[in-house]
Amino acid sequence: MSVMCWEQLNITKTVRKFSIDRNLVPTGSEFHPGPIPIVNKHGDDVEEDHVDGSVPLSSRNFDSYSHQYPVLVVNFYAPWCYWSNRLKPSWEKTAKIIRERYDPEMDGRILLGKVDCTEEVDLCRRHHIQGYPSIRVFRKGSDIKDNQGHHDHESYYGERDTESLVAAMETYVANIPKEAHVLALEDKSNRTVDPAKRPAPMTGGCRVEGFVRVKRVPGSVVISARSGSHSFDPSQINVSHYVTQFSFGKKLSPRMFYEFLRLTPYLRGYHDRLAGQSYIVKHGEVNANVTIEHYLQVVKTELVTQRSSKELKVLEEYEYTAHSSLVHSFYVPVVKFHFEPSPMQVLVTEVPKSFSHFITNVCAIIGGVFTVAGILDSIFHNTLRMVKKVELGKNI
């Protein structure tokens, strides 16, 4: 966004994203989110008295239920969330309808549950719940990956009225044979599952790379969570980051970059000021809701060389200074790169020396050498004469 009210959202054509581990190594292929889902129905239009039909889940029974039913659909919600309250009546009604059609005791193919993230903080953190409501679909036997331990769950982004929810649940059950209820009945023991095998690593992250075309006016590039149908929990969002490269203008070729460093030895530190810098916020209550902001003052730099009496522009580059700060806020944490083009411009000109200037310098050097040699010879000769006079005076 810029001060001229120019704004771009959800940039996907020129920006790529990869999931990474704690060593900044990609753990999979490029992430393609697809089209951004738009929810038009956030609940039933007519509010009716509802009876709880979904099963309350907690850290104690979540693993047991997820291993007992072929499909477990969970609504992670927060009582303070507006969108969660809009969803609650239709969710409970859907759970009641699905329970009647697919009796957990007789059928056992699907179960709808709910998790109050204000009560089950650790459970929601295990599943990386940052926005409410989050509807997750866990399929038995495919919710854990051997590589990195990431959850291979599905997320429901469809409409949230009862009719749409019931249709979606029917789709989940369609490919599961009815005989699966026998296995479900046999697996109703209250055995506990080692939770250490289920959660995804807390040290993973995302690598964002690419470029964005912006206007040459003050503006900012913001990386944040954004949704028109979810409420985010600011305390669960950590925007710590490490900057590998952040520059303005066209990417320099190796040859041009060498010329740039050769001609501007005193400006090289400002070409990519943020490169190699890390900004880490440790997760915890004290460091919750931390926004990291970078303020960049951009100066245009032109490198010009004169060869054979012809002026030649080598390249056009942008230098910048950077000042960073951590700010506590009640809003969702973001990463902001504020940039402001400077009205000043740096012009570096390379002027070759003429041959006459070279000859003059050579003569000056040779003359200086002879002059210094004569001075040294005179000092040495006079010193010897004085020494001889002193010796003669002593002898007399």
Which residues are catalytically annotated? 81
Which residues, including other chains, have CB under 8 Å from residue 388's CB and lie 6 or more apart? none
Q: Are 114 and 56 in contact (CB under 8 A)?
A: yes
Q: Tokens for 49?
A: 């008295």
Q: Are 101 and 165 in contact (CB under 8 A)?
A: no
Q: Are 317 and 249 in contact (CB under 8 A)?
A: yes
d(CA 119, CA 124): 9
d(CA 148, CA 146): 6
Q: Are 147 and 27 in contact (CB under 8 A)?
A: yes
> End-to-end distance of the chain based on CA atoms, in angstroms?
99
3-state helix, strand, coil in the chain (%, to 5): 30, 25, 45
Q: How far is CA 285 from the centre of its chain?
A: 21
The strand pairing partners of 343, in sequence order, are: none
Q: Tokens for 238?
A: 């950590």
Count of alpha carbons within 13 Å of 25, Cβ hemisphere only? 4
Q: Tokens for 271?
A: 């070409």
d(CA 83, CA 66): 25
Q: How far is CA 267 from the centre of its chain?
A: 28
In order, the DSSP letters of 90-123 are: HHHHHHHHHHHHS-TTTT-SEEEEEEETTT-HHH
d(CA 110, CA 140): 10
CA separation, residue 289 to residues 106, 228, 275, 359 (Å): 47, 20, 25, 68
